[in-house]
């Protein structure tokens, strides 16, 4: 083992520089998120779900809404019955007969690509939210058909 005069540790200099491995080809950047439907993110080429990525081209989208209506006593009627009980005992109980209809439910968005499928369940409280989700899914359907 010979060492150069400038190398006090006695390590020989390398003969050839180490060969560098070629860099792997990078996948093209999918771009920014175009549509966000609950936990599903859609770019121009890819659908990102919590369980994995799906290609956008050829994907199939379905929307199902499940509504439930409930009858309940509004809060203002309960408060009026309690406050009025001190003044007019019998008549204040009539406030408890007031009912309001409350609509609530979920919208189920299903994306299928090949053999893989993902289902997102989105809670909604009014028809405007259901309409907005349907419009988003219809837009993604047009992107998937391109």
CB 109 within 8 A of CB 122: yes
Predicted confidence at residue 92, as pLDDT, reads: 82
CB 54 within 8 A of CB 116: yes
Predicted confidence at residue 61, as pLDDT, reads: 94
**What is d(CA 62, CA 54) in angstroms, rounded to the nearest whole number?**
15
Q: In whole angstroms, how far apart are CA 103 and each of 6, 47, 122, 143? A: 84, 31, 14, 32
Predicted confidence at residue 27, as pLDDT, reads: 53
Predicted confidence at residue 26, as pLDDT, reads: 52
Q: What is the residue-level pLDDT of the chain in tens, covering all 146 positions?
A: 555 555 556 656 666 555 565 655 555 566 788 899 989 999 988 999 999 899 989 899 999 999 888 899 999 998 888 888 877 777 788 888 899 988 889 999 999 998 999 999 999 988 889 999 999 999 999 988 87
| Among candidate residues 33, 59, 38, the one with its CA nearest the CA of residue 111 | 59
**What is d(CA 146, CA 138) in angstroms, rounded to the nearest whole number?**
13
Non-local (6+) Cβ contacts of 13 within 8 A are 4, 7
């Amino acid at each position: 083992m010979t060492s150069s005069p400038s190398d006090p540790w006695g390590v020989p200099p390398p003969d050839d520089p180490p060969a560098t491995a070629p860099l792997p080809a990078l996948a093209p950047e999918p771009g920014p998120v175009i549509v966000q439907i609950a936990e599903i993110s859609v770019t121009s080429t890819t659908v990102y779900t919590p369980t994995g990525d799906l290609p956008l081209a050829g994907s199939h989208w379905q929307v199902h809404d499940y509504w439930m209506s409930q009858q309940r006593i509004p809060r203002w009627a309960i408060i009026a019955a309690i406050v009025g009980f001190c003044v007019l005992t019998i008549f204040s109980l009539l406030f408890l007969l007031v009912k309001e209809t409350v609509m609530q439910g979920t919208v189920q968005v299903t994306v299928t690509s090949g053999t893989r499928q993902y289902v997102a369940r989105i809670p909604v409280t009014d028809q405007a939210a259901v309409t907005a989700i349907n419009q988003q899914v219809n837009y993604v359907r047009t992107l998937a058909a391109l």
